[in-house]
Chains A and B, each alone.
Chain A
Amino acid sequence: MIITTIETIPGMKIKAHCGLVSGSTVRAKNAIKDIGAGLKNMVGGELKSYTELLTEAREEAVSRMVAQAKKLKANAIVNVRFATSSVTVGAAEVYAYGTAVEVVKPEG
């Protein structure tokens, strides 16, 4: 599966559109890590546990989007965007969406 943030796939030709695909996830860290982050917030610096949370959320959203694209028999997703929203404190929603397409190598 080729995933890009641009509208075309360089070196390939788009044969068919399969429609919009998306994947989303809402994730939170456990309470102990939240308390740890609260303490870290006094001192300043990076909140590693929340960074981890974002990484996991993004990967999960992308994998759900890919699963949906596979169902549509697409082999690439173009113009992928991420959107986020806040649900409650310490939780993050990451939403990934893009256009599933079927690409082929041009002849010759």
Chain B
Amino acid sequence: MLDLIILILLLLLTYGTGSYLEKRHFKNIQQREIALIRKPIISFGAKKWTTNKKIKKIELVAGEVVISGDYFKNFVASLKNFFGGRLTPFESIMDRARREAILRMREKAKYANIIVNVRIESVMLSDLYNPQSIPQCAIIAYGTAITYEKEQ
């Protein structure tokens, strides 16, 4: 009985903290994305990217982030996993992590005019075959930041 009470309390508590943190994070991401909306980034067809403009600086930039789920999400996901279908609790984690990693990369290259050939790489920090391991999402986003020389 006591175990059940503790479980329910824990679920309620982590549901509260988890959804609060997630909402705050999404809001933060949205604001930062709007601030950067005029900076172009390219991934498609950019492998042989060239320009006629004079180039001042070329640099590799990267951003990384690790986002974890919470106890409530893990609980819900393990239930859903039994029946199959979309695991919505984890979809939002992946979405947050990717957007955050891309934003960090873009913020590091604020001086640049364009970021080309952006790639996104995911890292497995937890053990897939161990059910007790922590589900988390680690993303590295990287690209080439290019700064043009100012035209006179």
Contact = CB atoms under 8 A, between A and B. Distances in A.
A41 B93 CA distance: 12
Nearest to A43: B17
Contact of A43 (B21, B58, B124, B130): B21
A42 to B, nearest CB: 5
Interface of A: 2-11, 37-38, 40-47, 50-51, 53-55, 58, 62, 79-86, 88-92, 94
B44 interface: no
Contacts of A4: 58, 60, 117, 144
A90 B73 contact: no
Interface size range on B against A: 35 or more
6 contacts: A5-B60, A43-B70, A45-B21, A54-B65, A89-B125, A92-B125
Query: How would you classify the secondary structure of chain A's contact residues: helix, strand, loop or mixed?
Result: mixed
Contacts of A85: 124
Q: Which 6 A/B pairs are nearest by Cβ-Cβ distance?
A: A44-B70, A44-B18, A86-B124, A50-B66, A3-B60, A54-B64
Given A41-B134, A50-B125, A51-B66, A8 B18 contact: no
B140 interface: yes
Nearest to B74: A41
Interface in B43-59: 46-51, 54-55, 58-59
A50 B146 CA distance: 29
Contacts of A2: 58-59
A86 B125 contact: yes
A58 to B, nearest CB: 6
Nearest to B116: A6
Contact of B66 (A54, A58, A81, A82): A54
Given A44-B17, A45-B21, A50 B127 contact: no
A2 B61 CA distance: 12
Contact of A37 (B68, B118, B128, B143): B68
B81 interface: no
B121 interface: yes
Contacts of A88: 127
A49 B93 CA distance: 18
